[in-house]
Amino acid sequence: MTERNGRWGRAAGVPGLPALNKGGQARVLSVSCTSSGNCAAGGDYQASGHSLGFVVSEKNGVWGKAIAVPALVALNQAGPAGVTQVSCRSAGNCVVGGSYSDSVGHQQGFAAIEKNGVWGQAIEVPGLGALNQGVSAAVTSVSCGSGRYCAAVGYYTDSSGNFQGFLDSETNGVWGQAIEVPGLAALNQGGGAAALTVSCASAGNCGAGGDFTDGVIVDGGYGDVQGFVVDEKNGVWDKAIEVPGLGALNAQFDVQAAFTDSISCTGPGDCLAAGTYGQPYSWAFVASEKNGVWGTAIPVPGLEKLVTGRYAEIGTASCASTGNCAVGGDYENVFPGNDTRQGFADSERNGHWSNAVNMPGETALSRKPGFAEPMAVSCGAIGHCTAVGFFTDGHNHLQGFVTQGS
């Protein structure tokens, strides 16, 4: 479904996807646009008994046919594969990342590059196989800055069976060697870490975030899960740090589990991190970085006035410029004999957050038992953002929604 001049067109099936999707299960999981009518999308479909990844490109307002990610079938020998995220730097020049299963059933991470409208072959992320001494690795997020530059992040399993986070970057069509997130091993005393999100404002200037397990021993011998952020400046990654103030927020809960789920950067050292903390009664946070200095994480303002249940979670964040951002997520409401999940949105204008509100128009769409969740938000200009997601209609069927804020 495409918006032009403020009006949304009719939703349509992805061209060519039914021919690939022999197993009857397909999902579009990510989309990236660089200009009006020039986008790329990716996801997964089922064939030969397991899932595989596809990509599809739009040029001048016309969508081409979905194709299997070139060479991914050859890489994927023993299980599921799929595209996690796509990011484009210009029309017809994009990157996708995801995971596949190798010949012994271990999960590995892949990337593929589109150049001038032609998708190249999927390859294992260079260096990731050497890092991944265990059974599981994947690309979780990709982002392209200006010029011929993109970054990819994810996780792998080291020789001790611990999960670690990695970073990699691509310039002019050539991937560098994946590296462990600098400084993350020192934070990750409990053996569980992953880079979950990355955003590039320009070539060599990106931000990433995720989670790690600290050394505090809790029930079962595991540490508390905490959120981290890390900056890249002029092509060099700094050391990962715990999100300032997030540990204090997380400590309010019996089970501490915090994650930086989404990051959006508008310039070198100017980013917004957003995510979730606490279990089982989780809450949502935002933290802003300005001129390379991260501020203290705060709970999403006004959210407590909406939530009558046990949790609130952020899933997506986007900034039009420094201090002008939006986030979206979902929360639980409890009614007599009925629990619902509702979507919320909050926006920042000139560095000041408003109070969270129900996703506009969602209440009229969703019916009890309600279930609604925004999946992505994107801000094209200050005060002009669009959110997409899904809801449960009056027949208890899942449907998609789109809403715009100003």
Q: What is the pLDDT of residues 287-332, one digit of tens each?
A: 999 999 999 999 999 998 888 878 888 888 888 889 888 888 888 8
pTM, rounded to two decimals: 0.88
* pLDDT given for residue 62 in this prediction: 85
Q: Is the pLDDT of residue 14 over 50?
A: yes
Average pLDDT over residues 199-206: 94
* Domain ranges across the chain: 24-405
pLDDT digits (tens, 9 = 90+) for 32-65: 888 777 888 888 888 877 889 999 888 888 889 9
Under CATH, domain 24-405 is a member of which superfamily?
Prolyl oligopeptidase, N-terminal domain (2.130.10.120)
pLDDT at 242 over 80: yes
Rounded Cα distance between 83 and 77, Å, is: 16
Nearest Cα to Cα of residue 89 among 62, 60, 116: 116
Mean pLDDT of the chain: 84
Q: Are 382 and 324 in contact (CB under 8 A)?
A: yes
Q: Which helix (H) or strand (E) covers residue 184, if one does?
A: helix 184-187
| 141 contacts 197 by C-beta, under 8 angstroms | yes
> What is the predicted pLDDT for the residue at 307?
84
What count of Cα atoms within 13 Å lies in the side-chain half-sphere of residue 317? 33
